[in-house]
Amino acid sequence: MLLAIDVGNTNSKFALFDGDRIVAQFRLRTEAKRTADEYGAWLTQLMGLKGIDPRAIQGAIMASTAPAVNPNVRRLCETYFGTKLLIVGEPDCQLGIQVLIDRPQDAGPDRLVGVIAGHTRHGGPLVTVDFGSATTFDIADKDGNFVGGVISPGVEFTIEAFYLMTARLPRIRVEKPAKVIGKATVPAMQSGVFWGYVGLIESLIKRIKTEYGEPMKVIATGGLAPVFESEVHLFDVIEPDLMYLGLLEVWRRNRRS
């Protein structure tokens, strides 16, 4: 089995692959101070509940946007699973694409993995729209090379800012409101967030396509993608496991090399 790890700014997500199939997924909040033993106790217990023997793990790969977490996740893999951790963005990890931006070293590993998965599964040119802590729009050319993108504040980030930076506005859930014009505070906030992001997403996709000048596939991923699917009519496909599938592909490319 392969352990694929997606460490984001908010959550850390773990998936187990048996061949091409995801057989289990787990998540917890990202915390830099979490030790390898804490990871190990948590993960092996959950694997046991699903009847998965930790000895079945033969490899591990991670994309991380929280570098402080990396050393303890590496120790987790070495100590509890007896395997080396391949980390996207480190010199020994080969992606098989060119990063055609001004500062290639600054490209987020999650963004690169997303376009690799998208291109492998759907070809290019393409745009991936990832609803994470940030909402990112990442572009791959016809050959799968990363050519840039757009980073905007994430939906949950906006909601949290509403709550933390105002005296009277409550926390809200992200959902489509019944009407655009809210008759109370919460529906009005939900309308602003939902329809505001619909406008942002559609506008950016259209502008990206116009600037790029070629037909492009649009692939959406992230937990909130289905929330916006009914009103954003520019998504060609929603891939909930795009990051995991990209990690699997990168792992295989490194095995072949």
| CA–CA gap between residue 89 and residue 107 (Å, rounded) | 9
Cis peptide before 125 (omega within 30 of 0): yes
| CA–CA gap between residue 108 and residue 244 (Å, rounded) | 15
Question: HSE of 150 in the Cβ direction (CA atoms, 13 Å)?
Answer: 20
| CB neighbour class for 131 (10 Å; exposed up to 12, middle 13-18, buried from 19) | buried
What is the signed CA dihedral for 139, 143, 147, 153, rounded to 10 degrees? 20
Is 102 among the catalytic positions? Answer: no
Other CB atoms within 10 A of residue 169 CB: 16
70-80 and 36-49 helices cross at what angle (nearest 10)?
Answer: 50
Among the listed residues 110, 130, 138, 141, the single catalytic one is 110
- Active-site residues: which are they? 110
